[in-house]
């Protein structure tokens, strides 16, 4: 019987049916199933293409290397392609409806996770401008937090030195005030201004001389204390300066790292914050994720809701024939083994009987 040319499979249909995970030999015998399996194969193929683009973009944000991103993207796409083919091809249509549901549920869950994984990097690319703007906001916020943290650490580390320096400066002020007070009292004594501490007589008398000696003593106390504390003040200034210098170096280094805060995880954080701050972006991101989840689970759903066709019966027939063939081979092998065991036992009995007869003679 000649084949009808209308049932001739072209190369593109053949390729899509390979993508669907169907048995090509059996599909050639059931032309009515070609469109269904070609559609399933097309969805599997395009899901793998989107997975390739998604993984490639994700890796580019991590490594910033085109060839590494392309290589990993292709590898990831092939893995998703192979996984989707297995998920679809593993669903059998000839069992009961309940068995099909139980068989489909874990595959739907897996397909949903794959859809979410594929959609996220593509969401980042679609909202790239908004994500970049939010990233800059996050970077500036992190820098402010860093500056506040640095200020706290400066107060903590330089606090003891600042306290001691302030105590020395306060003591110097006390000596300075005592000297200034003695100078004012001497001036009043010489000018004859009446007060509780002056005699009220004009000129450089005994009281003025005594006050001049007191002033000189206060000046000597001030200068001696300043000399005593000079090295200590220099040490304290040096330590305080060292604290500021070290933390400033650390701040610049950390800010340099913050400026490079644009990796994959950072972009996911920015996208999450955008979704929380903008209901429209959150809705759009949800639609995009839902689109890819639907795309990923659609081959499974199509296989589930489609009616049982010639291909399914042929597949069941082929599998049953193989099961029967395997059981028959096992049965024949067991029978042959039993026969050999019986033959060995009979031979062993004959040998024992012969040996017994020889011993009796």
Can you give 202-233 as a three-state secondary structure string? CCCCHHHHHHHHHHHHHHHHHHHHHHHHHHHH
State residue 229 phi and psi, 5-degree precision: -95, 0
Of 299, 294, 292, 295, which is closest to residue 91 (Cα–Cα)?
A: 299
193 vs 179: CA distance, rounded Å: 19
List the structure tokens of 302. 């199509």
Going from the C-alpha of 299 to that of each of 20, 46, 115, 118, 303, the distances in angstroms are 9, 11, 12, 16, 6
Give DSSP secondary structure letters for 110-152: HHHHHHHHHHHHHHHHHTHHHHHHHHHHHHHHHHHHHHHHHHH
Q: Return the C-alpha torsion angle 276, 279, 284, 289, nearest 10.
A: 40
pLDDT at position 15: 92
Q: Return the C-alpha torsion angle 315, 318, 321, 323, nearest 10.
A: -60
Going from the C-alpha of 228 to that of each of 63, 179, 234, 272, 340, the distances in angstroms are 60, 17, 11, 61, 113
pLDDT at position 74: 93
List the structure tokens of 166. 């302030």
Question: What's the pTM?
Answer: 0.55
265 vs 256: CA distance, rounded Å: 18
192 vs 178: CA distance, rounded Å: 21
Query: Buried b / exposed e across 67-106, counting CB within 10 Å, b at 16+?
Result: eebeebbeebbeebbebbbebbbebebeeeeeebeebbee
State residue 260 phi and psi, 5-degree precision: -95, 15
Find the helix packing angle between 279-305 and 97-126, rounded to 10°: 150
Of 319, 301, 300, which is closest to residue 311 (Cα–Cα)?
A: 319
Three-state secondary structure call for residue 270: helix
Cβ neighbour number for residue 175 with a 10 Å cutoff: 18
Eight-state DSSP code of residue 28: T
pLDDT along the chain (361 residues), means of 10: 56 89 86 87 88 84 82 89 85 73 81 82 85 86 80 75 84 86 74 60 68 82 85 84 78 65 78 87 87 82 78 79 77 70 67 70 61
Query: Domain map of the chain by residue range?
Result: 9-132+277-336, 155-265
């Amino acid at each position: 019987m000649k084949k009808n040319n209308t049932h001739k499979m072209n190369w593109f249909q053949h390729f899509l049916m390979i993508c669907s995970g169907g048995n090509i030999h059996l599909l050639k015998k059931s032309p009515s199933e070609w469109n269904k399996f070609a559609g399933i194969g097309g969805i599997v193929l395009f899901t793998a293409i989107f997975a390739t683009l998604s993984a490639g973009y994700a890796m580019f944000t991590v490594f910033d290397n085109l060839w590494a991103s392309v290589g990993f993207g292709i590898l990831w796409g092939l893995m998703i392609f192979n996984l989707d083919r297995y998920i679809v091809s593993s669903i059998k249509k000839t069992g009961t409806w309940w068995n099909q549901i139980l068989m489909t549920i874990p595959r739907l869950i897996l397909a949903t996770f794959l859809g979410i994984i594929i959609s996220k990097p593509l969401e980042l690319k679609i909202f790239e401008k908004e994500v970049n703007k939010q990233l800059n906001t996050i970077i500036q916020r992190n820098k402010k937090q860093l500056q506040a943290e640095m200020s706290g650490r400066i107060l903590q580390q330089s606090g003891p030195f600042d306290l001691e320096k302030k105590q020395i400066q306060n003591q110097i002020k006390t000596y300075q005030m005592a000297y200034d007070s003695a100078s004012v009292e001497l001036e009043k004594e010489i000018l004859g201004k009446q007060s509780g501490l002056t005699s009220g007589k004009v000129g450089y008398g005994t009281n003025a001389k005594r006050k001049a000696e007191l002033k000189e003593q206060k000046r000597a106390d001030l200068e001696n204390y300043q000399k005593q504390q000079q090295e200590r003040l220099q040490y304290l200034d040096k330590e305080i300066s060292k604290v500021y210098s070290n933390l400033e170096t650390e701040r610049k280094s950390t800010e340099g790292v913050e400026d490079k805060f644009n990796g994959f995880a950072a972009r996911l954080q920015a996208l999450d914050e955008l979704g929380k701050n903008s209901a429209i972006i959150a809705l759009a991101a949800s639609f995009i994720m839902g689109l890819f989840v639907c795309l990923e689970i659609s081959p499974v759903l199509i296989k589930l809701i489609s009616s049982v066709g010639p291909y399914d019966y042929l597949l069941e027939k082929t599998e049953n024939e193989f099961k029967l063939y395997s059981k028959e081979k096992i049965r024949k092998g067991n029978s042959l083994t039993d026969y050999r065991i019986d033959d060995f036992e009979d031979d062993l009995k004959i040998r024992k009987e012969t040996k017994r007869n020889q011993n009796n003679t």
